[in-house]
Amino acid sequence: MQSVEKVADGTLLMHFILTNPPTDNWNFIAGQFVNLQFMDEKNEEAWRSYSIASGPNEYDNPAEFDLLVRVGAEGFGVGTKHLMHMKVGESLPVRGAYGRFVLPKELPKKIVMIATGTGIAPMRSMIQTLKSQSYRGVVELIYGGRTPSDIAYLDELATESSITKTFCFSRTKDFGEYSEHSKHGRVTAHLPAPYIEARYYICGNGAMCAEVRGHYYAAGLTRKEVHTELFY
Ligand SMILES: Cc1cc2nc3c(=O)[nH]c(=O)nc-3n(C[C@H](O)[C@H](O)[C@H](O)COP(=O)(O)OP(=O)(O)OC[C@H]3O[C@@H](n4cnc5c(N)ncnc54)[C@H](O)[C@@H]3O)c2cc1C
């Protein structure tokens, strides 16, 4: 681990470099995750998944990547309790990258991204990729948390001209400098209307993912159009 920074309430942005890549040309696709190995209290392996928040071409060295980790106030379990105390220079076994929560080869006219909390990680990687490919379609991001200090990358996303964005805050109507793009309530209260030629990417906690997916399925969309990644 090369650096760590607190970027939102209980949320760390951690920069890693693979020092012993599984192959010489280690690589990932935007939207994929890596598995990190921890040791639990019985000294048994415990693997946890983390979506890569940086774009595949963001760093010159393809073996460099960022993870955005919600650790809360004191960690949730073995993974977050380890990560929140990890020091620069320490390392962890890693496997991957894995996952099918990725953009299609043939890009649609519109891509809708719905994320809460650290669920923004795979979306940010996709946004970086779409920018590097000069994607000409529409990217609509709906991104939620309790308050502005609760979620990461707000400054970057607020000024990102290649996307349209709505930030949804469930516990405050004081949006501060983000008022132009902000609404009160959960993401589920501000979902864009279903659009058959769009692809939908939903990432965050299981309850939110299920509710949003159910909303679009009820409108006639299918697994072909609606992709979900459940974090917990
Ligand atoms: C494909 C995939 C990608 C993921 N990507 C990310 C990521 O980019 N960033 C990230 O922070 N996490 C991500 N997760 C979740 C991550 O893998 C761990 O589950 C999480 O860090 C908790 O691990 P733990 O060992 O500390 O706690 P666990 O022992 O796994 O869980 C302990 C308890 O805490 C709860 N819990 C776990 N996470 C949270 C949370 N954020 N808020 C509230 N309660 C929680 C669990 O439901 C459980 O009850 C991802 C999970 C999957 C499956």
Say yes or no: CB of residue 35 within 6 Å of ligand 1: no
Alpha-carbon distance 146 to 141, whole Å? 17
Best substitution site from 11, 36, 76, 205 to test ligand 1's pocket, by max atoms within 8 Å of Cβ? 76
Helices (DSSP H) in the chain: which residue ranges?
Answer: 78-83, 120-132, 154-158, 206-218
Instruction: Indicate the domain borders of the chain.
Output: 3-98, 110-230
Residue nearest to atom 52 of ligand 1 (CA): 231
10: Cβ–Cβ under 8 A, 6 or more apart, which residues?
70, 71, 72, 73
CA-proximal residue: ligand 1, atom 53 (nearest): 231
Answering whether pTM is above 0.95, one says yes
pLDDT, tens only, 47-67: 999 999 999 999 998 899 999
Report the alpha-carbon distance of residue 166 to residue 70 in Å, rounded.
21
Q: What is the pLDDT of residue 145?
A: 98
CA dist., res. 92 & res. 86, Å (int): 10
Q: Which of 172, 173, 174, 207 is nearest to 188 (CA)?
A: 207
- Residue 136, φ and ψ in degrees, nearest 5: -105, -5
- Fold equal for 3-98 and 110-230: no
Fold of 3-98: Elongation Factor Tu (Ef-tu); domain 3 (2.40.30)
Give residue-wise pLDDT tens across range 70-93: 999 999 999 999 999 999 999 999
Residue that is written with structure tokens 């509710």 in the block = 211
What dotted CATH number matches 110-230? 3.40.50.80
Distance of CA 1 to the CA centre of its chain: 19
